[in-house]
């Protein structure tokens, strides 16, 4: 079975090569080639998963060595894939949800003349993400990490004729480069500390390194995770990334790119466990981001950007759980998987709404769409209930476990983190209910555009609705399947480990508190958007609302601190260069020039001048000799 691991990557990678290099002769069938090859990867994943289930827990790690990448003395990098319970979970999520998004894209991108290229980029994205999660060493992981960054740049900016899309792609690429520097530095530190960057030797010899070095490595890994997973302070690219086609939003924000940072932290758990200060920073980043994203999501009228804020927030929950160490590793991945179902479904539902509304994204121009788009309404509604933690649905099982784990941290830290997670649950219930009410309830609010074309909302074709239905089933049943009987805990525990912690409150108390804040959030949203007509233009709102509409001033902060700060730093360096460096160089040159000019006057070409010089020199030597003898 080990020989099948490489085929997981080879199938979508072959699709990318064929579709991007095959030319226009494949335009008519390119989308099906991409979909079939991504589905083939999923089938291979299911076969390998079945094989792992038939093994004992201690034998569920399969390795496939392909070749030695860099064979030099003292430095060896291998292309080796590692399939265990953690990477298997990601393989099924990436290929399963990714294949559904491919199928959805067949209908969504039907009229795009560059559809073949789009599917080539989708296949490239899957291949890069699979390399990332299957790599057996950090250097190979870095290859997949950068591949995901490249593919995201190509997909976000796919409609490059739109300046906003081109700008968003560049922004995502540049912000992620900051995080990527963290990963590259972490790999260098690993090599200088352990002499290798393979998972096995590094993670098993953590005890041989000092806490200071491990803290440095862990913080650099966290910086990398913040870039890919859009966590504070590298979260600014996520909302702008909505300029790409909606299937891209589902792929990036549900099953692949934004989950990479969570995977990196959990895979490197042994390093973080030995660096408690870094673990504390991880929990703080997660708690701040889950509130940050939720607040931003409350103020967005663009349906995709509201869901982008939601993604930021939900990934914050996962990072918070990962920062709790063995108490939360399993629950971070469990919520990651359930989130892959309901968030992908929500994004595809948003794309279905846009498909029926002439690509309109402003929810203030929707209203009453449940009558016109029943399948979209039901599937989107199930995703909505799952994400807010409605009892019995996926989010109820996974997010509640993270809240419990936060309280189980114990002490003041546990109360603060648990309180932040509860507050985030209340805000999630508010902004998602707001999205639901503004889109599917109330009276219709759409108007003809400037050309007199009025939207005629209608249900999407089956190539789009079938993936939405499948994801809706996952949104409903996945959490219960994983949570009841602790199936997911027993599956991942051999890799991640698990501790119960010391919670000051019972699980029942946490559940009841979560239900209370859920009802409060839904009630406030209903009072504001369900009982009252939705105005066509958003009111000015409070200071916080205005700030949230501008993403809590994150771009303003980056402009003032980073852009303006960079400009001032550059000017300072230019001044130092001109005045100090150039001054020394030019001053030395001028001095040498002046000295040579003066010395040149001694070489005038007149014999009498040379004779006088020789006579004078001889006289000085004679006088000096006589003086020395006299003394």
pLDDT, residue 255, reads 66
pLDDT in tens, 38-95: 999 999 999 999 999 999 988 899 999 999 988 888 788 899 999 999 999 999 999 9
End-to-end CA distance of the chain: give it in Å, rounded. 102
pLDDT over threshold 80, residue 527: yes
* Separation of alpha carbons 336 and 478, rounded Å: 11
Please give the residue that has the higher pLDDT: either 383 or 545.
383
Q: Is 212 exposed, middle or buried (0-12, 13-18, 19+ CB in 10 A)?
A: exposed
pLDDT over threshold 90, residue 610: no
* Separation of alpha carbons 458 and 99, rounded Å: 25
Q: Are the CB atoms for 561 and 233 separated by under 8 Å?
A: no
Q: What is the DSSP letter of 338?
A: H
Mean pLDDT, residues 526-530: 94
Q: Are the CB atoms for 408 and 501 separated by under 8 Å?
A: yes
* 3-state helix/strand/coil string of 513-527: HHHHHHHHHHHHHHH
Q: What is the DSSP letter of 302?
A: B
* Separation of alpha carbons 226 and 600, rounded Å: 65
Q: Are the CB atoms for 269 and 214 separated by under 8 Å?
A: no
Q: Which residues, at least 6 apart from 197, have a Cβ–Cβ distance to it below 8 Å?
A: 77, 137, 138, 139, 187, 190, 191
pLDDT, residue 254, reads 67
pLDDT, residue 96, reads 95
pLDDT band at 629 (very low <50, low <70, confident <90, very high): confident
Q: Which residues, at least 6 apart from 588, have a Cβ–Cβ distance to it below 8 Å?
A: none
Radius of gyration for the chain, computed over Cα atoms and rounded to the nearest angstrom: 31
* Separation of alpha carbons 104 and 463, rounded Å: 5
C-alpha 282, offset from chain centre: 15
* Separation of alpha carbons 444 and 438, rounded Å: 10
Q: Are the CB atoms for 103 and 463 separated by under 8 Å?
A: yes
pLDDT in tens, 325-374: 999 999 999 999 999 999 999 999 999 999 999 889 999 999 999 999 99
210: left (phi over 0), alpha (psi -120 to 50) or beta: beta
Reduced DSSP (H G I as helix, E B as strand, rest coil) percent helix, strand, coil of the chain, to 5? 75, 5, 20
Query: Looking at 220-374, which runs of residues are DSSP E strands?
Result: none
pLDDT over threshold 90, residue 139: yes
Helix (H, G, I), strand (E, B) or coil at 82: strand
pLDDT, residue 606, reads 74
pLDDT band at 295 (very low <50, low <70, confident <90, very high): very high
* Separation of alpha carbons 416 and 228, rounded Å: 26
Per the prediction, the chain carries an average pLDDT of 92
Mean pLDDT, residues 164-177: 93
Provide the token pair at 599. 């010395």
Least confident range from 38-42, 171-175, 325-329, 579-583: namely 579-583
Nearest to 152 by CA among 121, 183, 123: 121
Residue in this structure with the two tokens 């090859």, named with its chain if needed = 37
Nearest to 460 by CA among 373, 368, 366, 359: 373
Q: Among residues of the chain, what percentage have pLDDT more than 70? A: 99
Helix (H, G, I), strand (E, B) or coil at 202: helix
* Separation of alpha carbons 77 and 93, rounded Å: 28
Beta bridge partners of 83: 62
pLDDT band at 503 (very low <50, low <70, confident <90, very high): confident
Nearest to 405 by CA among 498, 321, 281: 321
* Separation of alpha carbons 298 and 541, rounded Å: 12
pLDDT, residue 501, reads 82
Please give the residue that has the higher pLDDT: either 57 or 302.
302
Q: What is the DSSP letter of 377?
A: H
pLDDT band at 593 (very low <50, low <70, confident <90, very high): confident
pLDDT in tens, 434-471: 999 999 999 989 887 777 778 889 999 999 999 999 99
Q: Are the CB atoms for 16 and 123 separated by under 8 Å?
A: yes
pLDDT, residue 536, reads 82
Residue 332: which H helix or E strand, with range?
helix 329-356
Give the length of the chain. Answer: 631
């Amino acid at each position: 079975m080990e020989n099948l691991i490489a085929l997981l990557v080879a199938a979508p990678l072959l699709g990318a090569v064929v579709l991007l290099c095959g030319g226009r002769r494949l335009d008519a069938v390119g989308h099906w080639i991409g979909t079939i090859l991504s589905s083939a990867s999923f089938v291979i994943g299911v076969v390998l998963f079945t094989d792992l289930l038939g093994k004992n827990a201690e034998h569920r790690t399969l390795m496939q060595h392909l070749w030695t990448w860099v064979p030099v003395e003292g430095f060896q990098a291998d292309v080796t894939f590692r399939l265990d319970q953690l990477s298997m979970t990601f393989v099924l999520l990436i290929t399963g949800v990714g294949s559904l998004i491919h199928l959805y894209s067949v209908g969504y991108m039907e009229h795009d003349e560059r559809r073949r290229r789009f599917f080539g980029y989708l296949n490239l994205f899957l291949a890069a993400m699979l390399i990332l999660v299957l790599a057996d060493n950090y250097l190979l992981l870095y290859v997949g990490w950068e591949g995901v960054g490249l593919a995201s740049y190509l997909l976000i900016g796919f409609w490059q004729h739109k300046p906003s899309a081109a700008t968003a792609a560049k922004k995502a690429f540049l912000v992620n480069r900051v995080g990527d520097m963290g990963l590259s530095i972490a790999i260098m530190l690993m090599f200088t500390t352990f002499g290798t960057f393979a998972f096995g030797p590094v993670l098993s010899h953590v005890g041989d390194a000092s806490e200071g070095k491990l803290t440095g490595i862990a913080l650099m890994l966290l910086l990398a995770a913040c870039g890919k997973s859009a966590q504070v302070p590298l979260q600014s690219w996520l909302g702008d990334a909505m300029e790409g086609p909606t299937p891209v939003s589902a792929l990036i924000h549900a099953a692949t790119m934004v989950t990479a940072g969570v995977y990196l932290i959990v895979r490197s758990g042994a390093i973080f466990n030995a660096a408690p200060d870094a673990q504390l920073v991880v929990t703080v980043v997660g708690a701040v981001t889950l509130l940050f994203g939720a607040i931003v999501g409350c103020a967005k009228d663009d349906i995709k950007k509201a869901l982008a804020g939601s993604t930021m927030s939900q990934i914050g929950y996962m990072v918070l759980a990962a920062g709790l160490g063995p108490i939360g590793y399993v629950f971070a991945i469990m919520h990651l998987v359930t989130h892959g179902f309901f968030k992908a479904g929500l994004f595809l539902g948003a794309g279905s709404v846009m498909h029926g509304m002439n690509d309109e994204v402003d929810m203030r121009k929707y209203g009453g769409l449940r009558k016109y788009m029943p399948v979209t309404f039901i599937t989107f509604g199930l995703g909505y209930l799952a994400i807010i933690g409605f009892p019995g649905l996926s989010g109820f099982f996974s997010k509640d476990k993270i809240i419990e784990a936060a309280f189980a941290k114990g002490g003041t830290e546990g109360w603060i983190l648990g309180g932040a997670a509860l507050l985030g649950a209340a805000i999630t219930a508010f902004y998602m209910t707001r999205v639901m009410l503004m889109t599917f309830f109330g009276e219709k609010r759409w108007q003809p555009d400037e050309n007199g074309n009025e939207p005629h909302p209608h249900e999407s074709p089956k190539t789009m609705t079938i993936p939405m239905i499948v994801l809706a089933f996952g949104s409903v049943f996945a959490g219960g399947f994983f949570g009841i009987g602790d199936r997911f805990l027993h599956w991942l525990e051999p890799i991640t480990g698990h501790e119960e912690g010391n919670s000051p409150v019972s699980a029942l108390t946490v559940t009841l508190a979560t239900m209370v804040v859920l009802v409060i959030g839904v009630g406030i949203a209903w009072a504001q958007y369900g009982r009252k007509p939705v105005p066509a233009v958003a009111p000015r709102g409070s200071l916080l609302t205005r700030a949230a509409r501008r993403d809590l001033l994150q771009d303003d902060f980056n402009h003032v601190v980073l852009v303006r700060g960079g400009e001032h730093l550059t000017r300072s360096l230019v001044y130092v260069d001109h005045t100090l460096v150039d001054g020394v160089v030019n001053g030395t040159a001028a001095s040498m020039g002046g000295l040579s000019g003066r010395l040149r006057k001694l070489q005038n070409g007149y014999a009498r001048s040379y004779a006088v010089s020789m006579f004078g020199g001889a006289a000085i030597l004679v006088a000096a000799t006589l003086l020395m003898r006299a003394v």
